[in-house]
Amino acid sequence: MEHMDYESAQDSQLRGQFSRRQIVGAALAIPAIGVALAACGDDDEGGDTDGTSPAGGDTTVAGSDTTAGGGEPVAGGTIRVATTKPASPLDPIAMVDLGSYNVIAQSFEYLTGPDGAGIGPMLATEWTANDDSSVWTFTLREGVTWHDGSPFTSADVVATMERIGSAGDALGGSLPTEEDPDAPPPVGDAAPAKRLVAGTVTAPDDLTVVFDLGGASNASLPYLVSIFNTQAAITPVSYEPGTTLDGTPAGTGPWILETYDPNTGIKWKRNDAWWGGEIPLEAVDMQFFSDLAAMVTAMSGGSVDAIQQFSVVGGDALLNDSNFNTVEIDASTHRQIWMGLDEGQFTDVRVRQAFALGIDREELIAALFDGKGKIANDHVMFDLWPFYDPDAVEQRVRDTDAAKALLADAGFPDGIEATLNAVDLQEIPQLAELLQLQLADAGFNLTLNVESDATFYGSQWCVTYPCAGSAELGIVDYGHRPTPDVFLLKAFKGGGDWNSSQYASDDLDAAIVEFQASAEDDARKAASGKIQKIMWEDVPAAIPYRYNILGGHSKTFTGVEFTALGHTLFAKASQV
């Protein structure tokens, strides 16, 4: 697809003016591909737009069922998967980590799902908007049943959105809410209970759902009900806030929960009544790991058949394994080094700018990713999106003299001492060590505190929600999204559920509204430029890079799908 065709397709889909072919075939947000790499790390030409890895290490086009050098697919069998151990309860609304996201996505589904580099039909087959994108109508798929055999209907979608409105973040604040007069009064500093404004999400019939955003335009709503906004999983009417998948197994997806041990893993059996058709494999055995090195060892040693994600650092054994297919996907995955704006040493913008100036981004890319990443510029409007404005702000580069001068102007002529908190996940511990060394030259004396994801989330990052109680300084992971809406609404909008910096900017909030109201790329680019400039100047978080997602599997399997967020999907997988 040529560039102009791509942008035109994206514009029409954001407005809801599209055909079935456009929905299924076009990349909505990212002109990127998931590449199946040959053994020894050599890139093949071409690639899979959906991150589906073929057998034999050869690259096939998206949707192809051919297996290069691996024989014909064979029905039956179990695939063993090394996956990140969930760090939170399997609550579809309250989960906050990749391990939980991947588990939930096996049983539960979303209105829109992964399709190439963007989104396409899942539980909804089509969706349209009114002229200003303030009202969206979704048509649901016929013949879908829950795992207990009961029919899936629009009532389940309405109930899910009502739970997201009362116990979640209302799709990043996109759904209008109000105080719930029937709820008990709040205790202590807790916020008053909320609910959706009446009429926000309605069901005219069993297969139609209407979202009325109360006059607010939001061209990105189909992304906010997709698998890439993980807390938007559709759950049954019977689910209540706090219900977990392991406590009350359910779903419409291809895999039915069979056994679950929060420490060791989860086993799934095939859902023979799945709406998507025949599933080749009989079962999926997910084995939980808290350590990346152990995951790589399990994969290279043959005790598992697939690995959810791995890093270039420590991943050489897989990248050089002739029996392993690596999937690489260009992504918006990144790390945010948040700085607290509510109290402490980082309330002065000059200190935050000094911190950002002390980072050698090129060294980070070289040391951590061996070139499989891109330098970022302290905002989330990344260069892989067509609305990115390359002229909005200059690229921030390391300047330790300027950093020290800013610290002196802010009242810290002798520098700053602080604890840099980090989660023990993939390359983040190594990132923390590099930052400690780099920033010492800029006047920051950092002590490192690296914790497991079992304790980091909820102690150092976002003790309560909407996010409060975070440490003064820390590194948190953000997985891929096909548009920046989730990053903006949850991490940087005032009062956002994941706003660990406690950042609040009327100008940024207004620019986010402008961005979401725009369906055309030119208008989105103008709004994006404003967002880039505000975040670059205010630096609520330093964002030094984004990087490509790496996952993969043994060549004895084909059809394993990887999303850029880190899901591993097995409905099309089979042995060869």
Beta bridge partners of 72: none
Give the phi and the psi of residue 404 in degrees, each rounded to 5: -65, -35
CATH number at residue 362: 3.10.105.10
User: Is pLDDT above 90 for 42?
Assistant: no
For the chain, give the mean pLDDT.
Answer: 87
**Distances 27 to 140, 157, 454 between C-alpha atoms, Å:** 21, 25, 35
Number of neighbours of residue 277 by Cβ within 10 angstroms? 8
Q: Residue 526 is part of which domain span?
A: 334-547
Q: How far apart are CA 392 and CA 574, in angstroms?
A: 47
Number of neighbours of residue 543 by Cβ within 10 angstroms? 25
- Given a contact cutoff of 8 angstroms between Cβ atoms, the answer to whether 339 and 423 are in contact is no
Cis amide bond preceding 466, omega within 30 = yes
Q: How far apart are CA 135 and CA 214, in angstroms?
A: 8
pLDDT digits (tens, 9 = 90+) for 417-464: 999 999 998 899 999 999 999 999 999 999 999 999 889 998 999 998
pLDDT digits (tens, 9 = 90+) for 321-348: 999 999 999 999 999 999 999 999 999 9
Q: How confident is the model at residue 190 (pLDDT cuts 50, 70, 90)?
A: confident
Q: What is the pLDDT of residue 188?
A: 77
Q: How confident is the model at residue 50 (pLDDT cuts 50, 70, 90)?
A: very low
Do 308 and 228 reside in the same domain of the chain?
A: no
Of 567, 530, 520, nearest in space to 131 by CA: 520
Q: How far apart are CA 295 and CA 318, in angstroms?
A: 11
Q: How far apart are CA 187 and CA 161, in angstroms?
A: 25
Number of neighbours of residue 343 by Cβ within 10 angstroms? 9
Beta bridge partners of 267: 259, 285
| Average pLDDT of the residues in 522-547 | 97
Q: How confident is the model at residue 51 (pLDDT cuts 50, 70, 90)?
A: low
Q: What is the pLDDT of residue 71?
A: 65
| Average pLDDT of the residues in 145-161 | 98
Q: What is the pLDDT of residue 46?
A: 33
Do 436 and 564 reside in the same domain of the chain?
A: no
Q: What is the pLDDT of residue 117?
A: 73
Maximum distance among all alpha carbons in the chain?
Answer: 69
Do 433 and 421 reside in the same domain of the chain?
A: yes
| Token representation of residue 164 | 């997201």
Residue 22 domain-assigned (yes or no)? no
Helix (H, G, I), strand (E, B) or coil at 211: strand
- Per-residue DSSP letter, 468: B
Do 385 and 531 reside in the same domain of the chain?
A: yes
CATH number at residue 287: 3.40.190.10
| Average pLDDT of the residues in 186-211 | 92
| Token representation of residue 375 | 């330098």
Residue 171 domain-assigned (yes or no)? yes
Tokens 């100047």 locate to: 537
- Given a contact cutoff of 8 angstroms between Cβ atoms, the answer to whether 318 and 552 are in contact is yes
- Given a contact cutoff of 8 angstroms between Cβ atoms, the answer to whether 124 and 139 are in contact is yes
CA–CA–CA angle 246, 248, 250 (5° rounding): 95
Do 487 and 381 reside in the same domain of the chain?
A: yes
Do 112 and 204 reside in the same domain of the chain?
A: yes
Do 451 and 570 reside in the same domain of the chain?
A: no
Q: How confident is the model at residue 465 (pLDDT cuts 50, 70, 90)?
A: confident
CA–CA–CA angle 252, 257, 261 (5° rounding): 145
Q: Categorise residue 302: left if φ over 0, alpha if ψ from -120 to 50, beta otherwise.
A: left
Give the phi and the psi of residue 372 in degrees, each rounded to 5: -90, 55
Of 498, 502, 495, 576, nearest in space to 538 by CA: 502
List strand residue ranges (DSSP E) for 63-172, in order: 78-84, 112-115, 118-121, 124-129, 135-140
First CA to last CA across the chain, in angstroms?
32
Residue 206 domain-assigned (yes or no)? yes
Q: What is the pLDDT of residue 20?
A: 27
| Token representation of residue 468 | 């409060």
- Strands, sheet with 201-205, edge to edge from the N-terminal-most edge strand: 124-129, 135-140, 208-212, 201-205
User: Is pLDDT above 60 for 544?
Assistant: yes
Cite the DSSP H helix spans in 26-117.
98-107
Q: How much of the chain, in percent, has pLDDT values that exceed 90? A: 77
| Amino acid code (one letter) for 412 | F
Of 356, 354, 316, 350, nearest in space to 336 by CA: 356
Tokens 């998206």 locate to: 62
User: Is pLDDT above 50 for 269?
Assistant: yes
Do 135 and 105 reside in the same domain of the chain?
A: yes
Query: Angle between the 506-517 and 521-538 helix axes, to the nearest 10 degrees?
Result: 160
CATH number at residue 155: 3.90.76.10
Radius of gyration of the chain (CA): 23
pLDDT digits (tens, 9 = 90+) for 469-520: 999 999 999 999 989 999 999 999 999 999 999 999 999 999 999 999 988 8
Burial label for 469, CB within 10 Å (0-12, 13-18, 19+), is middle
User: Is pLDDT above 70 for 183?
Assistant: yes
When comparing pLDDT for 453 and 552, which is higher?
552
Burial label for 404, CB within 10 Å (0-12, 13-18, 19+), is buried
- Given a contact cutoff of 8 angstroms between Cβ atoms, the answer to whether 308 and 103 are in contact is no
Q: How confident is the model at residue 93 (pLDDT cuts 50, 70, 90)?
A: very high
Q: How far apart are CA 475 and CA 494, in angstroms?
A: 20
Q: How confident is the model at residue 70 (pLDDT cuts 50, 70, 90)?
A: low
Do 155 and 245 reside in the same domain of the chain?
A: yes
Residue 13 domain-assigned (yes or no)? no
Do 515 and 376 reside in the same domain of the chain?
A: yes
Domain boundary among 262, 292, 316: 262
Q: What is the pLDDT of residue 306?
A: 98
Do 339 and 484 reside in the same domain of the chain?
A: yes
Domain boundary among 215, 245, 262: 262
Domain total of the chain? 3
Helix (H, G, I), strand (E, B) or coil at 432: helix
Domain boundary among 237, 262, 287: 262
Do 250 and 270 reside in the same domain of the chain?
A: no
**Distances 57 to 47, 147, 322, 558 between C-alpha atoms, Å:** 11, 35, 8, 10
- Given a contact cutoff of 8 angstroms between Cβ atoms, the answer to whether 561 and 52 are in contact is yes
